[in-house]
Structure 1
C-alpha cells in the first residue's frame, strides 16, 4: 500500500490495524530483557503510530529501545529483516539497528511469535515535508537500492516478493475469498493486465522498502534521521521503490476524487514524476532497461495496490482500473518520453 509521493506513501489510505494487538506485563518484559545486556527495565509504553505489528518503547537503566512483536510473520520472514538491517547498519545506512542478545542472536521468540529489539532513534514524523526533505528521502531510497544491488538476502522466499507471479496468486486468493461475481470479473481483468506486463528476467533485482508512509520516516532538526519499519521490504525489481515514489497523475486525481473525472478527461501530469526521477538518478543512475520497463513496474505497483483493496468498487469502474486504463491509452513509449525524453 495509493496517494502521491507528496504524501510519502502509496498505501496510506489502507485502514490501519490497531498497533498493539498483544499486551505485555512488566515481568514479561523483564524476562525478555534478561537475555540482553541492556540494563533493568524502568518502564514501557505502547507505540501506536502506523504499524500492523505490536511495538513498545522500553526504557531501561541503559537507555531507550524499541521492542517489535511480529503478529503475522514467520520466524524466517523476520530473519530476512534482521539480516537485512544488520547489513544496512554495517553499510552505515540510516535505520534503527537490530540488537543482539547475549548469545549473539537477533531473533527472539516469545509466546510462539518472533520479536526483535531495536535501537531507539530520536526524531519526528512529518506529514508535509518540504522540498529539501523530499530530496533527502529520494537520496536515501536510491542509496538503499544501490547498496543492496548485489546483496544476497537470507530467507528471501519467506517474504512476499513483489513479482508478477505473487501478484497473480494473491489476486486469485482474494477472488476465492470474496466469492462474488464481481470478484471473479475483477480477477479476469487482473489476469489480462498482468499478462500484458513486460518484465524481463534481466532487470536488476534488489531490496525495496515498499512502504514510504510518513510514519516510517524520521527527521530530526529538519534532517533525514532514519527509515523505519522494513516489514514490507522484499526482493524485487530495483525500480519498484522508484515506481512507488513517482505519481504521473494530476495531484487532484486520487481515490477520493477519481470518480469526479469524466471518461476522456486528462488525468496525467508528469511534472512531479519527472522531478522525482531526475533526483533519484543523481544518486543511482538507471540502467537503460530499467528506464525502458519502468512503465511495467509502475503498473505492477498499481496492481499490488489493487490487491489490498480488491473489494473496493465494481469491476466495471474502480480507482486502480482507471489508472491502468489511462496509462494503457497513453502508452509505454509516451510514458518513457515524458519521464526521460
Structure 2
C-alpha cells in the first residue's frame, strides 16, 4: 500500500473535527500512489479523499487549490478542496499538508476503447480552455531543464540502445526549444493517465490528481495522454484510439501547423519525462516495502517505438 505517512483513527478524527462532515465512519489507505499518501474517508456527511502531500513546496498548494476551484466552477468533473469551519482549504496532519476532497464516482478503465479515448480528448481540451484563461501560472519542477539534466545523468550509466535513445531524446528537447514560443499554452494536468480518470461505463465522471499541474504547451499534455490511453500491447500507438482522442480534442481547439510539425518530438519528450521520473522513483524506493514502483522500462519501450510516428495530428486546411 502506497501510504508514506500513516494516520491513526484518533488522529483522523481530530483532523475532521475542523469540518462540518459529521462523525468518522471508516477510512483506509488507497493503493497505487507513488508520490502522495491518499485515504478514502467515509463520514456521516459523505465519501471523501484525504491527501497528505509528500512532495513539493507547501507554498504551491494554494495554486492547486485555486486551479481546482476554477475548474470546478466551470463545471468540470474534478475534485476540489473542502474548506473547514474557518474557511481554510489547506490543513495539516502528521506534519504533512492535508487536503480533503469529495470522492468522485466511477472507476478506472484498464482497457480503454475509442470512446473512452474520445472522452479523454474532449475533457482535456475543455480543461485547457478554462485553465488558459484562469489567470494562474506555475513553473513545473520537471520541465525541459530537469529532463536535460536527468537524461545526461542517466546517459552516464546507460549502454546500448538505452544510450542511443537518450541521445535522440536530448535532440528532441533541442528541437522542441525552437517550436515552444509558437505553441499554444495553458495550465496542464501533466499526468492524465488511466489511473487519474474515472468512468461509469463510457461516461467520464472525474479527473483527479492535479499535483503535477503546471504551465506549459498544451500539445505536451496531449502527448502525455496519448502515450497512456492509446497504446496497444506492443507499446505502439493504436491508430483508432489515437485518432479518436486527437479528433475529440481538435473539435474544441483545432491543432496548428506548428503543432503538427512538433508532434513527433513531443511524443518522445513525453515518454522521456516518465522514463526519467520512474527511474528516479525506482532507485529511491527500491528498499521501501509497500511502495508502488512503476516500471521505467515501459516508457523506455514507448520512446523507442516513437522513433517512427505514423499517426499525425488532424490539422484542417
TM-score normalised by length of structure 1: 0.74
Encode CA deviations 1:252-282: one digit per residue, 9 max, x unaligned: 532xxxxxxxxxxxx7775543343222111
Choose the corresponding residue for 1:88, options 41, 47, 71.
71
Equivalent in the alignment of 1:165: 145
The match for 1:217 among 147, 172, 197 is 197
Please report how far the alpha carbon of residue 182 of structure 1 lies from its aligned counterpart in structure 2 after TM superposition: 4.0
1:325 equivalenced with 2:304 (yes/no): no
How do 1:1-341 residues align onto structure 2 when only pairs under 5 Å count? Answer: 18-153=1-136, 156-157=138-139, 159-160=140-141, 163-172=143-152, 174=154, 180=157, 182=159, 190-197=169-176, 198-220=178-200, 222-246=202-226, 251-254=232-235, 270=239, 272-308=241-277, 319=301, 322-327=304-309, 339-340=314-315
CA contact (8 A) 2:189 2:212 kept: yes
Q: Distance in 2 between matches of 1:23 and 1:252?
A: 36
Q: Which residue of 2 aligns with 1:260?
A: none
Note the C-alpha offset of 1:174. 4.7
SS of the aligned residue for 2:179 comes to coil
**SS of residue in 1 equivalent to 2:206:** strand
- Per the alignment, do residues 31 and 250 of structure 1 end up closer, same or farther by CA in structure 2, a change over 3 Å counting? closer
In the superposition, relative to structure 1, how do residues 19 and 77 fare at CA in structure 2: closer, same or farther (>3 Å)? farther
Distance 1:193 1:134 in 2: 26
Gaps of 5+ in 1: 1-17, 255-266
Question: How far apart, in 2, do the equivalents of 1:323 and 1:76 lie?
Answer: 39
Query: What is the Cα deviation at residue 32 of structure 1?
Result: 1.0
Q: Does 129-138 or 221-230 show the bigger shift?
A: 129-138
Q: Aligned to 1:239, what secondary structure does the other structure show? A: helix
Question: 2:4, 2:37 within 8 Å by CA — same for their partners in 1?
Answer: yes
Larger Rg: 1
Distance 1:160 1:242 in 2: 19
Does the Cα contact within 8 Å between 2:121 and 2:247 map onto a contact in 1?
A: no
2:283 is aligned to none
Q: Is the 8 A contact 1:67 1:118 kept in 2?
A: yes
**Aligned pairs, how many?**
295
**Which protein has the bigger helix share?**
2
CA-based RMSD: 3.2
Q: 1:269 to 1:69 in 2, by over 3 A?
A: closer
Cα pair 2:114 2:244 within 8 Å, conserved: no
SS at match of 2:180: coil
Q: Residue 225 of structure 1: SS of its match in structure 2?
A: strand
Asked whether the equivalents of residues 56 and 66 of structure 1 are also in contact (C-alpha less than 8 Å), the reply is: yes
**Where does structure 2 lack aligned partners over 5 or more consecutive residues?**
281-295
Q: Deviations over 1:213-238 (max 9, x none)?
A: 32222123542111111122221101
Q: TM-score, normalised by structure 2?
A: 0.79
